Structure formats: C-alpha cells, structure tokens
Structure 1
Amino acid sequence: MNPGLTLAQVALPQSRAAAHAVARLAAGVVTHAQWVCQVKAWCAALQQVPGQDVALYLDDPLAFAAALWGAWHAGKTPVLLSDTQPQTVAQLLPQVAACVGPWPGAIGPAQDATVVDAVALQPLDMALARLVLFTSGSTGMPERIEKCLAQLDAEVHALQSVFAADLAVDGAQVLATVSHHHIYGLLFRLLWPLSAGRLLGTSFARYPEELVQQLQAAPSSLLVSSPALLGRLPAQLDWAAATVGLRGVFSSGGPLPHEASVLAQQLLGHSPSEVFGSSETGGIAWRRRAEQGDTWQTLPGVALRVLDNGCLAVQSPHLPAATTWWETADCVEASGDGRSFVLLGRSDRIVKIAEKRVSLTAMERCLQAHDWVQQSRAVVLEQTPEGSPTPARVGMVVELTDAGWQALQQHGRRHVGQTLRCVLEGAVERVALPRSWRYVAQLPVNAQSKITQHSLQTLFNPVVPLPRWRERSATQATADLYIQPRLRVLEGHFPGATLVPGVAQLHWAVSLGLQAFGLDAYFADAQLLKFQQPILPGDTVQMQLQWQPDKGCLQFALTSARGAHASGKLLQWRA
C-alpha cells in the first residue's frame, strides 16, 4: 500500500517525479513540476506581506491548493473563509494582513519568473505551519478553529491506512459535490489526494446531471459527496454507464440515512464510506452501512470513552493536544471492544420550552416515522416581533414525501399541520408542540451540504414585519412595525450596512395597504417617493396609511422616534 507523502513534503520539487500528474484539465495534464511552480509564485508574493494571517478563498481547487502551500512555505497562516457573503467578509477581512480571493486589493501570485525561480522550498515544520477555519454553523454561529499541519497530516494518513488498500485508487481522479473551503472537502478533495498521488478533481458537481457527466469523463474516479446529494439521486439518469470507472464513494457532514445509503449503493454500485467527525475533532470514526450497519468504527489512533451523561469523549492525534480528552455533544452507545459505537443523537439539542426539557431530535425522529415526512428539522424561534419577553417556541421544517405533498394539495396546510401535531402529542409536552410549520421540497443546506440553524430560522423570518394595528378604518390605518434583527429583507442588500432597502419599504406599504383596506387590485405607479433616513435593525417604526378610493391612491408614511423615514403615493392600475 502506498503510504503517501507527508503534507510537509507535498510541494517539494524532489517529492515526486516532475511529470507526475497532479490534475487533468480540459487543456491537458498539470504536472507536479508545474504545480510546484505555482506554489513558488504564491510563496514569493506572500513573503512580501508583513503580517501573519492571510484570508484565502479561491473556487479553483488547484489554484487554492497552490496558494495554501504557498502561504505555508511563506511562513503565513491561511485563514479559510467558508463563503464570500457580505457578513462573513465584513467580519473576517479586517482581522487579516492580506487576502487571496475575489476582493479589491487581493494578492495574486508573483509574475516575475526570476523572482519565482529564486524561491527555494524547504520541508515544512508541521508543528509551526497552521491554518484557521470555521465551523459550519450547523448548531449556531461559526467559530474560529486553528489547526497545525501535524493534525491534518495525522488525519490524512489515518484515511489512507483505512481506505487505500480496499479501494485500490492511487491513480483515481477525485470528483466532488462538496466545497474545499470546509474541513471535509479540504481533506478529501485536496490534502489526501495530494499526499496519496491521486488526481485532483477541479470541477464541482452541483447537480446529479453534472455528476453523471463528470463520472463519464473520468476513466477512474472517487466520489466525495454528502448526505444531501446522495439521498436525492434520480434513478432515471444513466448511472450504470457513468459509474463504470467509479472506485468508491465517501460521505460526511452528517450520518447518511439508511434509505439514502441503499439508494446510493443501488445506483452507484458502492456502499458509501461515511466518515464521522467535526471541524473541532477531525475524523473520529467510519462505517459502510452495507457492512457495519449503524455501527461506527474508530479511525486509527482515536480512543473513545462514554461520559456519565452518555456523551462521547475522544482522544486523537487530530486534536490540538493528542493526550487530552475532547468531550463532544454526541450521545452514543459504545460496544464492549472500545473501538465502535452507535450514535443516539446530540445532547445540545435538548432545549427548555416553558420550563419543560424537550428533545428536538426526538421530535424529528417521531415525525420522520410518518408517511408524509421525508426529513424534518426543529428549530427554536426567537422573540415575538414586538421584542417582548415571551416563552421560546418551536418551529418545524418538514421535507415532505410525495404522499405528503399530495395531502397538502388535497387538504391544505392546516390539515397537514394538525395531523403532524397529533403525531407528536404522544412524544412531547403539549406546550412544546411546534406552532409554526414550513413545508419544503428539500431541507436548506449551505455550500458544505450542512443544514444550519441560520438557514432554518430564515424560513420563519418574515419579509414584512408583523403589524400591531393601532387604528383601522375604511380609509385610515396605523400600525407599529418592529424590525427584527433577522428580518429577511435586511440580508445581502448593503454590504457592511444592515438596513431596510427602499424597495422593501414600498413592499410593506403595498402589503399592509392590501391587508388594511381589503383591496383587490395591485399598484402600477409610485409618486413623490422620499427616503429621508435609514430604518435599522431594532427600530420600531409606525406605518401610516391613507386610502383614497376615488383616486385609487394609497398614501403612506414611515416614522419613528427618530423622525421621518419614508413617504409617498402608490396608484392603482385602472383599465
């Protein structure tokens, strides 16, 4: 078995033959010598940066890998951004000395051949070389995690020792449906292939149709995917022809449901190898459902024990201190051999609703036994729009089966919601039953195929604030609107400045006008619009509406204790 290079050696010119293929592009093969030249170009550029931390975000995995090793060889600490959303950029870029990615003033590789040739790459110190990444935010806000190269190297070689012999894939091309900006994609798409000598997959398959095309084009391949995609493979595609050269399938980011594992094996010809772990712990265990069922086997070097509260604790070379026990929030049932376990859920999904302890996981499992429910996720919703202290409440996001959608169309949302509430009544205190339901074609996932708390809560965040009506008559109406910090219209409009855009304020006037006066025709024109000062998160504004039916005119004004915010006239369309 090929043990692979250490990550400290990967970019050294002498570590592989100059003609060794690192990646295959449409234009031809990228050799090890060519890739090392790219690493040296990035190293030369980053050596000129006076600070330590360098933000890194490049969509091209090959360029990303070259910049990553270039930063390490330049003595810098790459900070891996999980996305380029305005909130992420605004929070992180001020903390770094320079950035590599799609931002104004970003650094590029050195272009002077003389400067690049003068760079002499030496083996990296795996205790000193580090990177920073962030959790996916699946259970809350993303948190900063720092890892040294020795931790990453230990995990790469653990994966190689477990899987390389069975898969016989040293020369295979790695295809992926997950991003390399997260720890799972980083390890499986870049670090492990470069260590083991496999071809990097430079394409990203967002849809099954794209995956079929990429599989057909690769004579020998490994697939790095996620439960989100593997559970939704359409059977009508020509998988039999596409998977002739497929040597194995990996899945991580969450346990793969039994049905999804069976489907993947039927269509792809392989039982997916699942790897369980987290950004903080690194890889902990693995399984193939066709062989191990629900049981997870620990990776080499990982020790486990079960704490008094039933949670898993691990000791591992993938952790910052290999001799320290890391306590997780994963509840497990361990086997007698001390090397395997079954996952039972997470302890951090126990919440208090009106002083009652409630397991969100138990609620989800209960619902998922119903014929109408494919998957479900419970989320604790925030305060009421007025900001008054009220008990927490549970919202439920349900991915419906075909039978569920049929029931929704035939009987309506109210009937489906009441039916599913009845399913939960025997499993949870009545006060904790979900009050809000959202039905989706598929659960929302981020670029790492993770279901995050933010993406779930966004489904419950209204576009129009909940009005508290002070006055309503045939021609006059006044309502107070509390601007929730997570109101959906606050996102993505003005980078670095969270405020309500003018188009949203117009939408509020239209929506509340229709609601207040029972109008049955929409508006075709806006006149005398004024936007005097911004509306900010946490504001309570007053919407004043005046309806002139003879003119088909709705006048509106938005004010607060700070003064006037907006005003104007909306004219109805008339034939």
Structure 2
Amino acid sequence: MSEWIPLHLLLQSARPGRTVGALDGAALDHAALLARARRWQAAFAAAEGRDWALYFEDSLAFAAALLGAWSAGKRVYLPGDDLPGTLQALRPHVDGFVGDVDPCWQPLHAAPATDIPATGVVLDPHACRLVVFTSGSTGQPAAIEKRLDQLGSEVEALQQAFGALLAGAQVHGTVSHQHIYGLLFRVLWPLAAGRAIQPRRFFHEDLVAALAAAPSVLVATPAHLKRLPPQLDWAGARGQLRAVFSSGGPLPAQAAADVREVLGIAPIEVFGSSETGGIAWRRCADDAPAWQPLPGVQWRIDDGQLAVASAHLAQGGWWRSEDRAEASPDGGFRLLGRADRIVKIEERRVSLGALEQALCRDAGVAEAQVLVLPGTREQLAAVIVPSDPALAQAGDAERRAFIGRLTALLAQGHDAVTRPRRWRLVAALPVNAQGKPTQALLQALFQKTLPSPQWLACDAATARVQLVLEPDLGAFEGHFPEVAVLPGVAQLDWAIRLGREAFDLPPRFLRMDALKFHHVARPHDVLMLQLDWDAARGVLGFRFSSDHGIHASGKVLFADAD
C-alpha cells in the first residue's frame, strides 16, 4: 500500500516509485508530476492577477496545473464545461483561463522545462483556495469557495471509510474532475493515497477492457450507471472491480440492481453537496438502507431537516441543509426529499418530490421530474422517462392516453391546481457534464423555438405556411427586455428550417442577400411565410407578412457540399 501524503505536502518532495497515472498514453510518476507542477508554478508566478479559471480534459494535466497555481498563490475557479456561454459568464470574475479552451480566450501556458529549480513546496492549507459551482439542479449554479484544509479533511475521511477496499486499485471515472465529486474522487484522493489515475472514459468497449486489465475502482453518477450496456462482456471487469461509487443524485433501486447484476458488485452511494462536502454513504446491496455518516461528520435533525457539522464546512458550527430527514433505528438517517422543493402554486403548497414519487409508482414510469415553469402565471410541468422507450416517440393518441393515466393517478391525492399541466415524454432526462438534470435543461424542454407550422400550400418551387406567435416561444426571451419582439435572427432561422422541410435544399449555406426587416412581430401575431425555391440558382427567397404588413424578406443562397 502506498504511503499516504496529505494534500498540502504533495509538492514537498518526489516519492520514488510512486505512480500517479497515465498522461498522454505514458505512465507518469510522482517526480514527473512535480516537474509539471513546477512549470505551471513558474508560469502563474509571472502572470498578473490572483484568480484563474482551469479547464482540462485530462485529469493529470489538470492536477499539475492546479498544484502549480496553488503553489504560486493563485485562487482557482473550476467551470463545469468549456462552452462559450460558461466562459463568458466567468470572464468578469477571473484574470485569465488555463487549459483546453479555445485560443480566443488566450489561455496561459506552462513555462518551458529548462531553468526551473527542483525545489519542494509546502502548500498553505488555509491560503490555497478553489471555487467550484453547484450543478444547478435546484436553481442557478452558485459559486462555492473551498480551502485546501477542507478538501484535505474530506479525502482523509474517504480514505478512512473506503481505503481498505481500494488498495492497489487504479481509478476510472465517467464524471469530470471539473465538479467537486470528480475532483475529490478522481484527482485529490488518488493523489494522496497513491492510486493511479486513468484518463476519463465512458461506457464502451474500451472501458470494459480497461476495468478488466487491473484492480480498479469506477467513479460514476446515477445517469451513467443507469445506462450500463448489458450486452457487453463485463466478465473480466467483475473480477477486478474493487468498488463502484455513485454520487450527484439518488441512484434508483432498479439501477442499483442492474449494477449488481452487470458488474457483480453493490454500488456505494455517497451523499453530499458542493457546500457541505461528503456527508454520508450507503451500500445498495438488496434494498435502500439508511445513510451512515462519513468519519468526522456529525448530524442531527432540526425541525425535520438534516443539519451537519464537520471539518469539510467553510465555517464552524452546524449547517442546516434543505434535505428533510428522519433518524433510523440503526443510528443512521433516511432522506425524505428536499424542503426547498415545496413550492406555492396559486397559494397552494405543493411538494415536487411527492408528485415525483407518486408518478414513479406507475409501472410505466422509469423516472419523473416535476418543475415549476416561470411566467406571469406559474404552472407545474412534468418530464417523464417511460419504462418503454418507444413511448417517448409514439403517436399523439398513445402519448395522450399515457399522460391521461398518470393524471388520473395523481388525481387520487392532488386536485387540478396542484397537478402538472404540461408534460414531456423523453427517452432520457437531459443532463449536464456531471450527469445531473438541471432546472435550465428541464425548462428548455418546454420552450418552443418554432411555432407549430400550418402548411397551406407546397409544391416543387413554392410553399406557404402559417405561424401563430405564441407568447411562450423561446425566441421572445432575452433579446429585448422591455418588450417581447421576435428577433430577425429567429425569422431567418425559421425560413431556413421550414425551407428544408418544404424543398430539397443543398447542404451548404453560402450567404444571405437582400435581407430586410420592415416591421416588428410580436406575441399573438399570425405570420404568413412565403417560400420560393429556385433550384437552378440555389436561391431560397422568403417573406414574412401579417395583417400589419411585411415583417421581413430576403434570399438565402445554398450550394452542394464540397
């Protein structure tokens, strides 16, 4: 078993023979990791500003940059992804970006390997800071600052609880280290314990082979574990797996049973949050046992809600969570749903969790998420994953019958005001990079981007379609805050999309010609779209009009693929 190294001493001196993982296809030992961290330390020391955003695909490349930033006195921000919108929102809060981001962000690069002294560094556990973001599963993502001493306390608790299971195991994961769960389980804990870190992989043949190659631990989320492909040959992996961890949300009982069947091992669920760190754990062997606190974590029930105290918290004292809970006879606790998921609809208190539990009692429902849709009149909506995947793509009649059955089920305990009024059937819940369904992703399912087209005429060269501008169209949101106006870019997008439905347009967009916007279009307007296709010239002409006159017109030129 490798020697345990506290996180603040990782850069103190190289440990001969200590492998930390594979980087760029080659084994990386502790000395090489320290050398990379020193190159980053030199780069950060020469860079102005305290706050830097790190985004890396490879966990060991990330680890070297993180340690280098800390040793240079920088505070590190971890964006959950590298989407332009995410980085743009982070831009006012950081001095620069590092890692696998687009060159337009002018990322900082590690210093050359020459002339960098091989001196040890002891990190200050209280001065080294990291900012992570909540997943946004219950609202907008929030920034949470963590100190190195908090992170160190948590990995020591994990080692005390599970270290004996993982001796000699290499770490594979399907969750990103850009989130607190992946950061702890796939980077910081393995570095401290001397476990080899493997590149991020997903569920396919390569992962099956990798898990079978050596003693392994799999770090995953419920979203990933629910999609284990049973048709693959997992026999080799079953002989090598030491543990399967799941966190980031509740693991359904059926998914836990599937993991036991496919991988031959009961998954270990870890419960916690970005704010609190790890709180408790349970092994899903036969049923859903009570949660047992991690070492060093105290808990109690305050007015029906779980409160915790531990060295993982940013401040001393007790933290009262939004999780409703009750004590169990075995000394643990059971979770009863989120207190912050009790909402008011037309002055009526509604538990979203209770609605989801009621829906899941129907055998045809694999998963359910209930949310509040904002607007001048808030209303409940439900996103359902049917047990039969084909139902998500079934015809209107079959879908209406299924939703009617669920509505009747809810009517046994909920009146019309406190039941969902809008429904979506999907093959799988939309999830973010951490495998969690967020409010933004769920709400997007109900934001129509194109009105339902009513085709009035269509032949090889012309088409006419009527579009009713409903107020809840997503195109109205965010463009003109003072008044709802249909933006021109939406009209152009609709013309092209509907043009492709009406005609066999070439695949390559060339340019726009004669584009003009005459009058604004607003909610409740009824637009008439005239489309004219000149196949010989590759020109699609369009014109939007209504009782108010012409709104927009222009031409779009297309060409065959190169």
Which bracket does the TM-score occupy, shorter chain normalised?
0.7 to 0.9
1:429 is displaced (CA, Å) by: 2.1
Q: Counterpart in 1 of 2:89? A: 91
For the pair 1:327 / 2:310, whether they are aligned, the reply is: no
Residues 118-150 of structure 1: per-residue CA shift (max 9 Å, x gap): x63321110111111110111111001101000
Question: Are residues 547 and 35 of structure 1, via their aligned partners in 2, closer, same or farther at CA, if it must alter by over 3 Å?
Answer: closer
Q: Counterpart in 1 of 2:42? A: 44
8 A contact 1:44–1:109 mirrored in 2: yes
For the pair 1:382 / 2:382, whether they are aligned, the reply is: no
Q: Counterpart in 1 of 2:174? A: 177
Q: How many Å separate the matches in 2 of 1:428 and 1:345? A: 18
Please list every run of 5 or more consecutive structure 1 residues that lacks an aligned counterpart in the other structure: 384-388, 469-473, 491-498, 515-519
Q: Counterpart in 2 of 1:398? A: 384
Residues 64-86 of structure 1: per-residue CA shift (max 9 Å, x gap): 00000000000101111111122
Residues 478-520 of structure 1: per-residue CA shift (max 9 Å, x gap): 8556585677999xxxxxxxx9574x42453578999xxxxx9
CA RMSD of aligned residues (A): 3.7
Q: How many Å separate the matches in 2 of 1:155 and 1:359? A: 32
- Code of the aligned partner of 1:182: H
Q: What secondary structure is seen at the aligned counterpart in 2 of 1:78?
A: strand
TM-score between the two structures when normalised by the length of structure 2: 0.85
Q: How many Å separate the matches in 1 of 2:48 and 2:530? A: 63
Q: Counterpart in 2 of 1:12? A: 12
Structure-to-structure mapping, 1:548-559, within 5 angstroms = 556-557=543-544
Q: Counterpart in 1 of 2:110? A: 109
Q: Counterpart in 2 of 1:496? A: none
Q: What secondary structure is seen at the aligned counterpart in 2 of 1:113?
A: coil
Task: Find 1:461's aligned residue among 409, 434, 447.
Answer: 447
Q: Counterpart in 2 of 1:196? A: 193
Q: Counterpart in 1 of 2:418? A: 432
Q: Counterpart in 2 of 1:205? A: 201
Q: What secondary structure is seen at the aligned counterpart in 2 of 1:47?
A: helix
Task: Find 1:368's aligned residue among 355, 360, 363.
Answer: 360
Structure-to-structure mapping, 1:479-518, within 5 angstroms = 480=469, 482=471, 502=489, 504-509=490-495
8 A contact 2:431–2:441 mirrored in 1: yes
8 A contact 1:513–1:554 mirrored in 2: no
Q: How many Å separate the matches in 1 of 2:505 and 2:393? A: 37
1:107 is displaced (CA, Å) by: 0.5
Q: How many Å separate the matches in 1 of 2:231 and 2:188? A: 34
Decide which moves more: 248-257 or 474-483: 474-483
Structure-to-structure mapping, 1:125-144, within 5 angstroms = 125-144=124-143
Residues 196-253 of structure 1: per-residue CA shift (max 9 Å, x gap): 0000112x2233444313213x311111011112122222211112332111111101
Question: Are residues 487 and 465 of structure 1, via their aligned partners in 2, closer, same or farther at CA, if it must alter by over 3 Å?
Answer: farther
Q: How many Å separate the matches in 1 of 2:131 and 2:547? A: 43
- Code of the aligned partner of 2:422: S
8 A contact 2:181–2:247 mirrored in 1: yes
1:301 is displaced (CA, Å) by: 1.3
- Code of the aligned partner of 2:36: Q
Q: What secondary structure is seen at the aligned counterpart in 1 of 2:46?
A: coil
Structure-to-structure mapping, 1:237-252, within 5 angstroms = 237-252=232-247
1:335 is displaced (CA, Å) by: 3.0
- Code of the aligned partner of 2:415: E
Q: Counterpart in 2 of 1:493? A: none
Q: How many Å separate the matches in 2 of 1:524 and 1:128? A: 60
Q: How many residue pairs align between the two structures?
A: 533
Q: How many Å separate the matches in 1 of 2:268 and 2:140? A: 29
Q: How many Å separate the matches in 1 of 2:233 and 2:518? A: 54
- Code of the aligned partner of 2:384: V
Question: Are residues 3 and 340 of structure 1, via their aligned partners in 2, closer, same or farther at CA, if it must alter by over 3 Å?
Answer: farther
Please list every run of 5 or more consecutive structure 2 residues that lacks an aligned counterpart in the other structure: 455-462, 480-485, 558-562
Q: How many Å separate the matches in 1 of 2:447 and 2:495? A: 18
User: Identity over the aligned pairs, expressed in percent?
Assistant: 43
8 A contact 1:489–1:500 mirrored in 2: no
Q: What secondary structure is seen at the aligned counterpart in 2 of 1:449?
A: coil
TM-score between the two structures when normalised by the length of structure 1: 0.83
- Code of the aligned partner of 1:290: A
Q: Counterpart in 2 of 1:359? A: 351
Residues 168-217 of structure 1: per-residue CA shift (max 9 Å, x gap): x2321100011110000000000000000000112x2233444313213x
Q: Counterpart in 1 of 2:28? A: 30
Decide which moves more: 288-297 or 218-227: 288-297
Q: How many Å separate the matches in 1 of 2:136 and 2:438? A: 6
8 A contact 1:135–1:279 mirrored in 2: yes
Q: How many Å separate the matches in 2 of 1:535 and 1:382? A: 29
Q: Counterpart in 2 of 1:187? A: 184
Residues 333-392 of structure 1: per-residue CA shift (max 9 Å, x gap): 11367x510111111111112221111111111111112110111111122xxxxx3x21
Q: What secondary structure is seen at the aligned counterpart in 2 of 1:295?
A: coil
1:541 is displaced (CA, Å) by: 9.4
Q: How many Å separate the matches in 1 of 2:83 and 2:289? A: 37
- Code of the aligned partner of 2:189: W
8 A contact 1:367–1:373 mirrored in 2: yes
Question: Are residues 215 and 41 of structure 1, via their aligned partners in 2, closer, same or farther at CA, if it must alter by over 3 Å?
Answer: same
Q: How many Å separate the matches in 1 of 2:475 and 2:126? A: 41
Q: How many Å separate the matches in 2 of 1:482 and 1:341? A: 46
For the pair 1:21 / 2:19, whether they are aligned, the reply is: yes
Q: Counterpart in 2 of 1:412? A: 398
- Code of the aligned partner of 1:333: E
1:29 is displaced (CA, Å) by: 1.6
Q: How many Å separate the matches in 2 of 1:93 and 1:52? A: 13
8 A contact 1:356–1:429 mirrored in 2: no
Q: How many Å separate the matches in 2 of 1:560 and 1:39? A: 66
1:62 is displaced (CA, Å) by: 0.7
8 A contact 2:529–2:544 mirrored in 1: no
